[in-house]
Structure 1
Amino acid sequence: MAPALIDTPQSAVFPSKELAANDQYGRYHPSDFRDLNLESGFGPMAPEQMGYLQPTSLDTPVEVMRERFERDGYLLVKNVLPRDAVLECRKNYFEFVAPCGILKEGSDPIDGVYCGADGRKYLPPGNIRRLFGLKGDKESDHYVDLMIKAHSAPFYLNFVQNPELRAFIRKFTGWKSETMLTRTLLRPYTPNSEMTAVHYDQMYVRAGPPSSITAWVPLGGVSLEGGGLMYLERSHDIGKKTEEEFARNSWNLTEEERISAFNKNMNDGGFLSRDSKVYGQEANRKWLIAQYEPGDVVLHNPWIVHASCKNCDPGNIIRLATDLRFVESGTPHDQRWMKIFAPGDGV
């Protein structure tokens, strides 16, 4: 079933190239990859190794949604969330962190226009920041403090309880009740700075069975060049095989070490690779990207390999998104995730 053509507004919160119509087979080809500035951490992505995520309309029969999710490992659903609610959360976030100087002076916070400083100054807290050895910069440290506090700010806690998303999760899964893991990740990526490293989610929730579903929610529009989440084509088999290999090599680890994504068998930082270009080439699979609108949600399973390109948005817009993970209420899950995010919390 081919999705309907999606009209794309041009606005300050969604700067992007014009979308083209679906082709006769229902495939989605918004732009020629040779016209896009897509960069990994180690240089430009090759056009031939890129593809597009298949969007799914909200009125698609749930049986079709489930088939696509089972086949592809992800489901990009349009207009799940009310646009106004998404943009209100975006506005509140940037107003919350604005005192650290991250926004362009005089700009409207909802636009998220970057101030133009060295992007490393505003890396999110956690292992990526630690690997860069950032500490002691007044504005940078102020941002980290605000970024951490944003995870427990009322505007954000209210947003993640969104009833439309919860209802959709129950409809899609068939669960009578869902539990959202308390540890959510609220992530901004500034232009030409760090990006999401190559990983799959189960490596971080190993203390529970692989039964969680992640909802990746862009908070505002993300252009094709804006560093939105990208998925390695049908790579859930790679995630499963990789996790099996880690399990075989964990015989000499303690239980605490075994469930850690940062044990000695893993890369420092808990990821598969920082070079998405080479990783995709070695796997001989395409990286799939999309142009995201406020209200979009991507569901993905715990095995599919994903990452992001560098944020090269032509409007110098900060990419803002949140990761929400759900399990069926009453079922086992990783209890380490039942507390609000804090740097150095081990997961």
Structure 2
Amino acid sequence: MAPGVLTETPPTNLEHSGTKKSHTAQDNYGNYFPVEPEKLSLESNYGPMKPGTVGYLQPTSADTPIDVMHERFKRDGYLHIKDLLPKDKVLQCRRAYFEHMSPSGLLKPGSDPVTGTYCGADSRKYMPPGNLRRLFGLKDDPESDKYVELMISAHEAEFYTNFCEISELRDFVRKFTGWEKEIMLQRTMLRAFVPNSELTPVHYDQMYLRGGPPTSLTAWVPIGDVSLEGGGLMYLQNSDDIGRATEEEFARNAGNLTEEERVSAFNKNMNDGGFLSRDTVEFGQKVQRKWLITEYETGDVIFHNPFMVHASCKNKDPNSYIRLATDLRFVNPEQPYDTRWMKVYRPLDGL
């Protein structure tokens, strides 16, 4: 076996559920996965994902030679690194997050917080604050909405800021990019998606980072396991060119915009909310590309470039586990970057 090449994904081992699965499906790279995509309960905002529209992401072990990682990242636009982070530190953050959120009634009564087991209420009540709540006509009012208040404050909680400083992550970013020093943009996204809630719309990162060149590196970090049906991040196959072409078209049509409007993802030339679409099935079929999924295990990190198109399915986890993850974006301080992102996230802050 070539160094660092996974021929089989390790069996899922949810430390907080004990669930294990056998391997039956194989992707184009020779990797094995638990089940054929058509047999999964994958659902978009507008109904089930259709047969033939879903495939699997390629995993990469953390000890893979760096030149192989570079080749894969250039080819695929993403790099799914297995077991990069210490599992105990990830689970500590998961437990602390759900303990922090417990006063909102988010969790099933009597459940262990580290499992993140959903209480079963109307999912709209626990939709993340920001544009999705706005589009659904749900009020963002920290004075009256305990959930929104706690979710916002979690971005500055010690358990989360410490998590963002995990040395294994920072060391890998420098090793992979070759930067002497990395800066993490302060505006991070910490998101908990409950079962059956509105999913992450179709988008690419650069549309939100137009105040700087497309040189950022995004790390999507699942905080705990995310099952195949748990609504983890999925990527549109080989979609770097779609993101670039979309951004080039936007630039050509931006002549009627002010400089402030030009760098905004929410200007009059964009969809309301800034994303490309809320219909993942229709978007994928239109461009004739598959959506690639995987089961994320505690300690995994997936990196992607600023133009890679991504989204998620609804969280249909069979155990009602809440999908918890964070978006962290890194830049080279020696080069220009979007300084608007050097502030802590607030809902509807224009970014």
Both structures adopt the same fold (TM-score exceeding 0.5): yes
Tell me the CA shift for residue 259 of structure 1: 0.5
Tell me the CA shift for residue 330 of structure 1: 2.0
Query: Within the alignment, does 1:182 sit opposite 2:175 as a pair?
Result: no
For 1:205 and 1:163, how far apart are their aligned partners in 2?
25
Aligned to 1:166: 170
Choose the corresponding residue for 1:130, options 125, 131, 134: 134
Choose the corresponding residue for 1:153, options 145, 157, 166: 157
Q: How does 1:111-126 map to 2 (within 5 A)?
A: 111-126=115-130
Q: Which runs of 5+ in 2 are unaligned?
A: none
Q: How does 1:231-250 map to 2 (within 5 A)?
A: 231-250=235-254
State the aligned residue count.
347
Q: Is the 8 A contact 1:91 1:110 kept in 2?
A: yes
Deviations 1:46-105 (A, max 9, x none): 120100000000111000000000000000000110000100000000000110100000
Tell me the CA shift for residue 13 of structure 1: 5.1
Q: Is the 8 A contact 1:58 1:77 kept in 2?
A: yes
Aligned to 1:197: 201
Query: Within the alignment, does 1:43 sit opposite 2:55 as a pair?
Result: no
Aligned to 1:34: 38
Query: Within the alignment, does 1:280 sit opposite 2:296 as a pair?
Result: no
Q: Which runs of 5+ in 1 are unaligned?
A: none
Q: How does 1:32-71 map to 2 (within 5 A)?
A: 32-71=36-75
Q: Is the 8 A contact 1:28 1:54 kept in 2?
A: no
For 1:27 and 1:4, how far apart are their aligned partners in 2?
5
Aligned to 1:9: 13
Tell me the CA shift for residue 26 of structure 1: 2.0
Structure 1, 5-14 or 319-328: larger mean CA deviation: 5-14
For 2:146 and 2:337, how far apart are their aligned partners in 1?
34
The one-letter amino acid of 1:3's match is L
Structure 1, 322-331 or 302-311: larger mean CA deviation: 322-331
Aligned to 2:94: 90
Q: Is the 8 A contact 2:221 2:326 kept in 1?
A: yes
The one-letter amino acid of 1:294's match is T
Going from structure 1 to structure 2, the CA distance change for 1:16 and 1:247 (only over 3 Å counts) comes to farther
Deviations 1:89-146 (A, max 9, x none): 0000000011010000000000000000010000111100111111289998110000
Q: Is the 8 A contact 1:14 1:221 kept in 2?
A: no
3-state SS of paired residue (2:114): helix
The one-letter amino acid of 2:178's match is G
Going from structure 1 to structure 2, the CA distance change for 1:47 and 1:144 (only over 3 Å counts) comes to same
Tell me the CA shift for residue 224 of structure 1: 0.2
The one-letter amino acid of 2:6's match is P
Going from structure 1 to structure 2, the CA distance change for 1:13 and 1:260 (only over 3 Å counts) comes to farther
For 1:19 and 1:98, how far apart are their aligned partners in 2?
36
Going from structure 1 to structure 2, the CA distance change for 1:192 and 1:27 (only over 3 Å counts) comes to same
Q: How does 1:247-262 map to 2 (within 5 A)?
A: 247-262=251-266
Q: Is the 8 A contact 1:14 1:223 kept in 2?
A: no
Aligned to 1:80: 84
